[in-house]
Amino acid sequence: MKMLLQTFISVLCFGVGVITIVVNGLDSIYCQEPADIGFLVDASGSVNSNDFEKAKRFIINFTKEFSISNRAVQISVFAFNDEVEGGFYLNSYSTEEEISSAILGIVFTGGNTDFDIPLNFARTQMFVPQNGARSYVKKILIFITDGDADITDEPGQLLRDIGVTVYTIGVGENVNTNNLDKIATSVNHRYIALNFSLIDDLGQNLTSQACIEIREYMKDHPCQTNPDRCNFGLCWPTGNTSYRCDCDFGYTGEHCESDNCEPSAADIVFVIDVSASLSSNLLNLLNHAKDHAELATKEWKIDNDHFQIALVTVAESASTVLGFSHIATKWAFLTGISNLNLKNEPSNIHLGLYKAVELLTTKGRSNVKKKIILYSDGLPSNPSALEQTLSYSQYYSYIDIYTVAIGIDVSHYFLAKISRVVSNVFPYNSDALWHCIMQNLIKPECNACVKSEQADVIILVDLSGIQHDYLNSIVPTLLVKILSKIRLGTNAVKLALVTFCDQASTRFNFNAYSENNRLDLQRSLSSYEAVTDKSSNILEAIKLAEALLGNPTEGARSSAKKVILVISEFKNSLNEQDLRYAEELRNNGINIHTIGIFADGNAFDTMSGLASTLYHIVCQDPADIGFLLDASGSVVSSEFEKVKTFAINFIKKFDISNQAVKISAFAFDAEVKGGFHFNHFSTEQDISTGIRGIVYTGGGTSFDIPLTFAREQMFLPQNGARGYTKKILIFITDGDAPTTDEPGQLLRDMGVAVYAIGVGSNLNTNNLDKIATSVNHRYMVLSFSLINKIKDTLTSKACKDICEPVAVDVVFVIDVSASMDSKFLNHAKDHTELTTKEWQIDDYHFQIALVTVAKSANTVLGFSNIATKDDLRNGIANINLKNEPSNIHLGLSKAFELFNIKGRSNVKKKIILYSDGLPSNPPALERTLSSLQHYSNIEIYTVALGVDVSHYFLSRISRDVSNVFPYNTDALWHHIMQDLIKPECNACIDSEQADVIIMVDLAGIQQDYLNSIVPTSLVKILSQIRL
């Protein structure tokens, strides 16, 4: 979530590009190397139309595993019977979506079967240059049939003679394998499926074999012999030995070697005030300086071509602690600050400035930008000397001066005078200075920072394309968190909200809300009514958004950035015309963002068509994640570097700290060599440095030794592992070594989830399965160059593993006796909806049953009858009131009976009773409650419904008055989730109540700050709390 917010907010504030955010992971492209792949699919009468559709779906799923473009993999598909009818050539389409649509458009024909005609067509038409075939790439033909036809060896041989590798897929019992073997390149290229329903089972093996052969064919091409040939870009073959580099944004040159967006060189002197005025809390203030210096220098490259840094202290005199030549790394710089000592001396700030200017002019480089950063309270002991020094500043106006306010009593007047403008005075607890410096050093066309914060943002919420549960849980949470990070107003962000199904409507325009009514805006973003009987029309919503963004009467501003944020499950695909329309909007400066709620691969296609760059949610829940990286001889050193880069990129998706995610990483060959434990590093930067420092060793390969090390060393408390968090081990190897079930099982027994990543074609998947927690925890990639492709999928899976609620059986008991009426039943229905939000109903999470009670108790729906929340909702909707007494005790007994007979063992059990607590037979209820004390493991909650409510009996039933809940809040949901989610993951707290008094000093704060800094601070605090 942190990355989602940071990314989206950076776009609002700094105007960068277009993003797509996906809530869960997606499968990655399997094969990227260029190839021409053709399909011939049997559409004769022996294949019925349903089976033909399954064959087309198989082809579509096959193509999703390849990088589709006119530079990478090209696809051709034709149907055949006794002639070739319907299809497209290699140069007809260049995107996966276009190809999928074209395949779906191929029509079933029926008719007789002939093999010679389609095979000759492939040779003379499909694989020829005028129809898109390329001479320098691998050519593959996949021939799918369920029948038999007379054929000689010649058609297959002629295809092989022109370099086409032919795969045959025979489906059904009537296939003549001898004829398939005449067509296929070899018996290893012939596949058999018993029927079309099982054809998809061949997909993984076929994809893997085809990709290995494509890669083998291209192995001697310059793009493959040197994968880093294009530096910061992708290498695409254009001939047998020729290629073209497509550079990443900001890089140019024949091999993408020139970074056009790298910050220009700068000499920077940090001046730190260590005088007596800071003595009241020196350690704290120096820590603030150190922390801020770390923020201010993030991503700086310290060398002769980029940043050079010096460190000066000032008190009565100024001293150079570290000159430019002494700071070669950030570690040296931060160590220098840590070793500073307090001086009980006056503060001659002007001497510190003199010293900094002297360093920049005598020791600095020529023709680079020069900057001074002063950490001080701005209280000079000799104001007149400072004023005189500042009067000379015109002679070094080319030197930028920034000040960072540190101290108990701070003079913003002098700090602003020193830095020449108040906007160059910065707080110590933000990275605003870093943004300012980088804005100054990076070329304007590359710059992610812009001066204007104006942005008109339209949020589009899909009422028909998002499940009701998510619509009123995930969506409001996302929007409220985004809202908390932005500033509203005429010179900042304006929001509008559009909801849509088949039609779009404006809920509110840009004029509706500002900082003054932020809480009302938050409420407006928190509630939606799902539409279940209509389809989702994203294009209509985007057209309405475009109209609003261009309409001043709706509050839109011509000077503001234009942003559209679309939230949907993206179940409906967009056609080519829709995608062109979205592209035109982006080209016209409208940034389109998409948030996919649990999006699958098809949804990802739609989202990618609307937007471009892909970001994923950061995982913030606590976990101990360990890596074991194969550094044996079968992994060459350059590939080991790719593995380390993969691990570094993986951890960027997690919130790294001692309170959140901790990382350990070790290399292994025949033994464990080099690495660090969980308690060694606590920041992402330090961990990345630690991983980079792990040395490649070579040597033999052992699996048992590193796995035993993980159990006996890595995940121990003395090495930083925590007893209460999720433990994950990621095991990466390209080889094979003997192993038994024991090492992996022992890790699983101590609660470690083990992911095994196998790289290359020499893997023993059986051994990986012995190591991995399950087959879903085993990943395969063809080469180390492709390992990053599984990063997002692995991240999503690991993040989901960390903090899921534990399993629970819940019985809802609803009082339908004479003391109730229909209004109270509706309250019960609404409350169950609140209580079950975000519950996942299946064998591994929540199981629910529904009981009613009046004179007797009845099971309306047992655990096996409620598979979805709709089942529960419909069950309650169909309940009828009874003009009978209320024997609440029978409802409780029925719930206990369900647990004992139908419930799961070793899961938590809970009863939720909806009633007024007025039993018709109080003694019977008392006797039941007395007997139920033996079932203290079953928790009982009561929800008070009715005009006259007995809180005495409700609290007796639920054993504690704190377990009696009102019907009109989600307090019970919070309480249950707090109980089911591990404490370290729990976002629920016992009480949010707080009485807060704010005191504002009208006499002790300058007027400018009183009406600028104070309101800004209070509004930011307000945005983070619920009233």
Query: pLDDT (tens digit, 9 = 90+) per residue, 739-755?
Result: 888 888 898 878 788 99
Residues 230 and 255 in one domain: yes
Alpha-carbon distance of 595 to 577, in angstroms, equals 22
Q: 695 with 761, same domain?
A: yes
**Contact by Cβ (8 Å): 639, 678:** no
Other CB atoms within a 10 A radius of the CB of residue 188 amount to 9
Residue range 135-165, pLDDT digits in tens:
999 999 999 998 778 888 899 999 999 999 9
**Residue 737 maps to a domain:** yes
Residue 493 has pLDDT above 90, yes or no: no
Q: What is the dihedral of CA 337, 343, 346, 349, to 10 degrees?
A: -10
pLDDT in the model for residue 238:
86
The sign one gets for the Cα dihedral 179, 183, 189, 193 is: negative
The answer as to whether 862 is a domain residue is yes
149 located within any domain: yes
CA dist 892 and 938 (Å) reads 11
- Which neighbouring-strand residues pair with 731? 628, 756
Residues in CB range of 468: below 8 A, 6 or more apart: 530, 532
As a whole number of angstroms, the distance between CA 773 and CA 871 comes to 33
Q: What is the mean pLDDT of residues 107-135?
A: 93
Percent of residues in the chain assigned helix, strand, coil, to nearest 5 = 40, 20, 40
Q: Which two tokens stand for residue 335?
A: 């160590």
Pairing, β 35-42 against β 19-22: unpaired
Same domain, 234 and 307: no
Distance CA 954, CA 944 (A): 8
Which of 115, 120, 109 is CA-nearest to residue 149? 115
Residue 924 DSSP SS3: helix
Residues 143 and 11 in one domain: no
Of 358-362, 589-593, 843-847, the range with the highest mean pLDDT is 358-362
Tell me: do 608 and 692 sit in the same domain.
Answer: no
Measured between alpha carbons, how far is 290 from 309 in angstroms, rounded to an integer? 14
- The Cα–Cα gap between 604 and 606 comes to 5
C-alpha 232/C-alpha 227 separation (Å) is: 11
Neighbour-count burial of 247, counting CB atoms closer than 10 A to its CB (0-12 exposed, 13-18 middle, 19+ buried): buried
Each residue of 404-439: pLDDT tens digit? Answer: 988 777 888 889 899 988 888 888 877 778 878 887
Say yes or no to pLDDT of 1 above 60: no
The answer to the question of residue 449 being in a domain is no
Residues 183 and 130 occupy one common structural domain: yes
Query: In terms of residues, how long is the chain?
Result: 1027
**422: which 2 tokens?**
């108040």
CATH number, residue 239: 2.10.25.10
CB atoms within 10 A of CB 453: 17
Distances (CA, A) of 56 to 42, 59, 102: 10, 5, 10
pLDDT the model gives residue 29: 40
CB atoms within 10 A of CB 200: 14
Residues 105 and 190 in one domain: yes
Identify whether residues 697 and 609 lie together within a single domain: no
Q: Quick one: 637 exposed, middle or buried, by C-beta within 10 A (0-12, 13-18, 19+)?
A: exposed
Q: At what angle do helices 601-610 and 96-104 cross, to 10 degrees?
A: 120
680 within a domain of the structure (yes/no): yes
Q: pLDDT exceeding 70 applies to what percent of the chain?
A: 87
- 355-373 burial, b at 16+ Cβ within 10 Å, e below that, comes to bbbebbeeebeeebbbbbb
pTM above 0.95, yes or no: no
Handedness of CA 144, 145, 151, 153 (dihedral sign): positive
**Number of folded domains that form the chain:** 6
**pLDDT at residue 805, rounded to an integer:** 63
How confident is the model at residue 363, as a pLDDT?
93
How would you classify the pairing of strands 318-322 and 307-314? antiparallel
Residue 493 located in a structural domain = yes
Give the phi and the psi of residue 31 in degrees, each rounded to 5. Answer: -135, 125
Over the stretch 761-772, which tens digit does the pLDDT of each residue have? 777 888 888 898
Give Cβ neighbours of residue 489 (< 8 Å, ≥ 6 apart): 514, 515
Domain ranges, residue 252:
225-259
Q: Say if strands 672-676 and 661-668 run parallel, antiparallel, or are unpaired.
A: antiparallel
DSSP string, 691-751: HHTPPP------SHHHHHHIIIIITSGGGT--TTSEEEEEEEESS-----SHHHHHHHHTT
Nearest to 892 by CA among 939, 826, 823, 962: 939
Nearest to 46 by CA among 170, 188, 201, 200: 170
For 136, the token pair is: 């320098």
Residues 229 and 296 in one domain: no
Distance set, CA 85 to CA 47, 326, 819 (Å): 15, 75, 72
Does 948 share its domain with 855?
A: yes
- 148 strand-pairing partners: none
pLDDT digits (tens, 9 = 90+) for 53-94: 999 999 998 998 898 988 899 999 999 999 998 899 999 998
* 658 and 752 belong to one structural domain: yes
Tokens of 499: 């909801």
Give the CATH number of the domain where residue 929 resides.
3.40.50.410
Alpha helix segments (H runs only) across 148-276: 154-161, 177-183, 203-218, 222-225
DSSP string, 629-676: EE-STTS-HHHHHHHHHHHHHHHTTB-BSSSSEEEEEEEESSSEEEEE
Least confident stretch, 879-883, 984-988, 992-996 = 984-988
Cβ–Cβ under 8 Å, residues 461 and 566: no
Q: Which one is predicted more confidently, 822 or 237?
A: 237
Three-state DSSP state, 788 = helix
Write the CB contacts of 978 (distance below 8 Å, at least 6 apart in sequence). Answer: 986, 988
Q: Which residues contact 873 (CB under 8 A, 6 or more apart)?
A: 829, 832, 833
pLDDT tens column, 517-571: 887 888 788 788 888 888 888 889 999 999 999 888 898 876 678 889 888 878 7
For the chain, the farthest-separated pair of C-alpha atoms sits apart, in whole angstroms, at 105
8 A C-beta contact, residue 244 and residue 34: no
**Collapsing DSSP states into helix, strand and coil, what is residue 983?**
helix
Q: Does a structural domain hold residue 110?
A: yes
What does pLDDT average to over the chain?
Answer: 83
Of residues 335, 328, 290, the one with CA closest to residue 306: 328
How confident is the model at residue 24, as a pLDDT? 39
Q: Which helix (H) or strand (E) holds 237?
A: strand 233-237
Amino acid at 202: L
Residues contacting residue 573 through CB under 8 Å, at least 6 positions apart: 97, 602, 605, 606
Instruction: Round to the nearest angstrom and report the end-to-end CA distance of the chain.
Output: 23
Q: Residue 873: pLDDT above 90?
A: no
Measured distance CA(219)–CA(200) in Å, rounded: 29
Residue 13 has pLDDT above 90, yes or no: no
| For residues 689-712, average pLDDT | 91
1012 belongs to a structural domain: no
Give the pLDDT score at 250.
66
Distance CA 92, CA 246 (A): 23
Q: How far apart are CA 193 and CA 58, in angstroms?
A: 12
Domain co-membership, 762 together with 631: yes
Order of all β-strands in the sheet with 455-462: 504-508, 493-500, 455-462, 561-568, 590-596, 19-22, 613-616
Could you give the C-alpha distances from 772 to 590, 615, 623, 768, 796, in angstroms and in order? 45, 27, 18, 6, 17
pLDDT, tens digit (0-9, with 9 covering 90-100), for 212-231: 999 899 888 988 888 778 87
For 26, phi then psi, to 5°, come to -130, 150
Whether the predicted pLDDT of 104 surpasses 50: yes
